[in-house]
Structures are given as C-alpha cells and as structure tokens.
Amino acid sequence: MKVSAAALFVSTASAGLLRRGQAGLPLEHFGKVPSVSPEEAKNSLDTVKTTIGARSEGLSLDFFPGVHHVTLEEAIQKIDLGGNNFSTLPISGIVDKLVTTVEQQLEDALGIDLDLQEVHVKLEARDDGDCANPNIRFEWDDYSASDKDAFVSAIQCLVQSPASGRFSPSRNRYEDFVRLHQTYAPNIHSKSTTQQTHKFLLWHRYFVWAFEQVLRDECGFNRAFPWWDEKKWAGQFSRSTLFTSQYFGSLPGATNNAATCINDGKFGGMSLSLGPGYATDNPHCLQRAVNEGTTAQTGVDSWNTCFSRTTYPDFHSCVEFTFHAQGHNGVGGIMADAVGSVGDPAFFMHHLFVDYAFRKWQIEDISRRTTISGCADNVNCSPLTLDTVVYMGQICGAKCPDLKVRDILSTLKGHFCYRYNY
C-alpha cells in the first residue's frame, strides 16, 4: 500500500524524516549498476568498443615481463623526481610506500613529526598551471571526530532545507542533487560494457565538487572536505568507521529479500520521494542491503587492474564497471540503483573514492591531465574532446556553469583547486 506524502512529512522541522519501522523495498526494485568481476577486467573484457575505432583492450600484465617487478633500490636510482621519466609505469604506489617508510624511520630516530607526503605532493604537480594553494581532502580516518560530525550535520542541513525549485519535483535541497543525477543519468552512465560514455568520471568529479560548494555556501560547512579509502574496507564495509550510529548509520543486510530501512546515524528515518529508477513521487525510507561478497571486489585487485590501463577510455571503463559498480551494489538498496543512488548520502563518499582513484591515475602521467579521448555519449559514440561540454544544471548557482572538459580535467587548474592528502 502506498503511503501518502502527508503522512510522512510531519512538520517543516522534520521534513525528510520517515516513520521508524517503515518496510524497505524489494531488492528487485533497485536497478543494479552494471559490473564485471576483477578477473573479467584483468582479461580485458569489453573495456571499450566504439564506432570510432577498433576494440581497445588493456593487455594482460603477463605481456609486460619485469615491468612491475623492479626493486625499491632500482626505483630509487631510476625515478626522476620531476616525474618526467618512466611516466607510463605504475610506480606511484612504490613511491608512496617508500615515503611513508622513510618518514616513519626518521620520526622514530629524531623524535619529531615530519610530513614527507607534503614533499611528495609538491613533486607530483609538475605543471606550471597548477593552483598554488589547493584545498586538501582528508581521508575519513584522518578526519577528526569534530570534522566528521560537522560534515554529516551539513548534509543533514540540506535534507532539512527547502528545495531550490529548479529541480522539480524534489522536496528538499538534498533531493535537488538526487533529481539532477536522476535527470542526467542516461547521458552520464554507460549502458553496458559495449555502449559507453566516457563522461562518467568527469561529470561525477564536477557533481561531487558542486555538492561541496552547496554544503559550504548554504549550510555553513567550513572544514576540509573528506574522502573515503574504500579499498581498505573491501569485504567488510559494515565494519568500517563510516557506517556507524554516529555518522552515516549502520549497514545491515537484506530483510526478507527486501532492503532494510536505516534508523540510526544522522540519517536515521530519512525519507526520499525520488527513485528507485526514474520514479518521482514514491516516498520510501533510506535503505541498504549489504553484500560483503560484492564489497570484497572493491579491493586492491580491482584497483591494480585499473591502474595497469594506460589510456583514458580503458581506465575509465575499468573503474566504472569494477570497483565503482561493486561499491554501489555491495552497499545495496538505494545505492544499488544506478539512477537513484544519490538518495543515500553514502553515494558522495563512494564517489569521492572514485575521484581519488581518477586523480591518482592522472598523477602518473602529466598528459592524462591535458588530453582526453573516448565517447561523449553511449549511443553514437560522438568523440569526447577537450571542448565537449559538461552540464551541471547550475545546481550551485554561478559556481556551476556549463563547462568544457578542459576546465574540469585537472583538479589543480581550470575550475578546480583541490587535491587529496595522499
């Protein structure tokens, strides 16, 4: 039986809150995000197949004997700290590990705190156009309890704020973002591994940045922005420091083959009127249905597979169909719905991880921040170029104009000025 909106929205102060105990929707109501396994990705399954060229596949690592097996000593001798040599090798993980190890050894020996990661960050820029003082996004576990509380409270502020009126029929400011994603979904997601749009990473980078601006401008959020290192919780999302009663609420499994309503955390009892799919008047609770067998696929195997890809379309396809899709489907419920997934605030933490991966991949070769290729749509595969326009519906006002790809390709130039803390 459908519950009327009037019964759900008790007062202006509690707008967006649903009666506790509301039942979740059957799992089949949520359209799963298309995915492939890490093993399929390693075998280059349908990485890109377009009308503008032959099938483009990343090669198995077996085709590159020795490349991925240099010793630390060899790396130290051969790495150009300016980043100009060996730019196609995935050495950033080695450098990060080396920096962390050396930093710890020096701190132990000298009894002082060092920050060699800052040195590494300065070395990674390698581009005269980079902004001088970027905002830093801190990993969730490096975030203070006060910062975490301020962040989820700011999101809660959007849930309790009136809609802007530009994204009808959203019922609050948070749902403006749900509606924007819902409306643009056909243009920003690949239909399948053979019908792809490579705007996915670019559009979502801009989308998450726009969300940050609205939190700051309309809800007074004045802290550094967070991100979530999802791969370290692969196979155990429900035990992570994100899904707790203090912050994003718990991560339960399904209940009688239906998603489970979330009644704890800052968003306990949250109601949505948009989704699943393209539904626009369908009041339902915030709900999840974790599958840790699926979240296990968001780990280092998928990460390493994607980072072995050297072209943007190949990397993009790998990310979209492996740990991006598996993160959505693993959390389940609303998050598993390809169109309406923004309804779960965990969406933004997941996509901050996706953007983190995109930036890390770009760091390994400066050309990845200045060139682009692939499909601009998932029907005819019109060419994706630096002049392709990305639309954001002015969701954050004048800060969110329609922009060309060249303006959002780098996080350190153009429209953006941010980086991650490692």
Count other C-beta atoms under 10 Å from residue 329's C-beta. Answer: 24
Residues 33, 330: Cα–Cα separation, whole Å: 10
DSSP string spanning 285-334?
A: E-EE---HHHHGGGSHHHHHHHHT--SHHHHHHHHIIIIIHHHHHHH-GG
Low-confidence ranges of the chain (pLDDT < 50): 1-21, 45-70, 74, 79-95, 119-120, 122-123
Residues 387, 109: Cα–Cα separation, whole Å: 52
Residues 419, 417: Cα–Cα separation, whole Å: 7
pLDDT at 194: 82
Question: Which H, E and C letters describe 87-106, residue by residue?
Answer: CCCCCHHHHHHHHHHHHHHH
Where in the chain are the domains? 16-66+137-420
- Cα distances (angstroms) measured from residue 354 to each of 71, 74, 115, 227, 323: 29, 31, 25, 9, 8
Residues 399, 213: Cα–Cα separation, whole Å: 8
pLDDT at 191: 87
Per the CATH hierarchy, to which homologous superfamily does domain 16-66+137-420 belong?
Answer: Di-copper center containing domain from catechol oxidase (1.10.1280.10)
- Calculate Rg over the CA atoms of the chain: 21
pLDDT at 22: 74
3-state secondary structure of 347: helix
Q: Could you identify the residue written with the tokens 């399904």?
A: 254
Residues 133, 51: Cα–Cα separation, whole Å: 42
* 160-212 pLDDT, tens digit each: 999 999 999 999 999 999 999 999 998 999 888 888 899 999 999 999 999 99
pLDDT at 38: 79
Residue 137: name the closest of 351, 299, 346, 298 by CA: 351
pLDDT at 318: 95
Residues 303, 17: Cα–Cα separation, whole Å: 37
Q: Name the pTM for this structure.
A: 0.79
Phi/psi-derived region of residue 83, left when phi > 0, alpha when psi is between -120 and 50, beta in every other case: left
Strands (DSSP E) found in 143-279: 225-227, 260-261, 271-272
pLDDT at 129: 78
Residues 283, 141: Cα–Cα separation, whole Å: 34
